[in-house]
């Protein structure tokens, strides 16, 4: 069966510090991968979307970036965090290619507080 791992679970970082969040998927090949952010009391905002290694689509201009160095690994990064980057970061995967789309499976999330 497929599983998605996301870490760390919580993170407190000072303004201006770097960020690296990692997500890995097991039990599937060539998944579509997503990074979402959920600010307190707000909806899910799609940040990045990837259909394959090195293929990243950015949905919202900001000081965040994403990379996909391996088929089942997705990394969210920032060089300098802002207070507005605080939120609940969620990685998700879906079946890639021409497979039937069953929706997303989310990781357990990272709660980031920028202080």
Give the interface with another protein as residue ranges (CB under 8 A).
Answer: 32, 34, 42-44, 46, 49, 59, 90, 94, 101-109, 111
**Least separation, in Å, of the C-beta of 104 and another protein?**
6
- Least Cβ distance, residue 39 to another protein (angstroms): 11
Q: In the complex with another protein, which residue's Cβ is closer, 15 or 60?
A: 60
Question: Which lies closer to another protein via its Cβ, residue 4 or residue 114?
Answer: 4
As given in the structure block, the two tokens for residue 48 are: 């990045």
Taking the complex as a whole, how short is the minimal distance between the CB of residue 47 and another protein, in angstroms?
Answer: 11
Tell the smallest beta-carbon distance from residue 19 to another protein (Å): 19
Nearer to another protein, 26 or 59 (CB): 59
Q: Which is nearer to another protein, 64 or 92 (CB)?
A: 92
| Three-state DSSP string of the chain | CCEEEEECCEEEECCCCCEEEEEEEECCCCCEEEEEEECCCCCEEEEEEEEECCEEEECCCCCEEEEEEECCEEEEEECCCCHHHCEEEEEEEECCCCCCCCCCEECCCEEEEEC
């Amino acid at each position: 069966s497929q599983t998605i791992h996301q870490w760390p679970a919580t993170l407190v970082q000072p303004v201006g510090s770097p960020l690296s969040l990692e997500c890995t998927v097991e039990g599937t090949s060539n998944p579509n991968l997503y990074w979402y952010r959920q600010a307190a009391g707000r909806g899910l905002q799609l940040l990045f979307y990837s259909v394959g290694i090195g293929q990243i689509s950015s949905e919202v201009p900001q000081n965040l970036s994403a990379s996909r160095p391996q088929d089942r690994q997705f990394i969210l990064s920032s060089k300098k965090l802002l207070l507005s980057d605080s939120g609940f970061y969620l990685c998700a995967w879906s079946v890639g290619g021409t497979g039937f789309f069953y929706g997303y499976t989310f990781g357990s999330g990272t709660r980031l507080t920028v202080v």
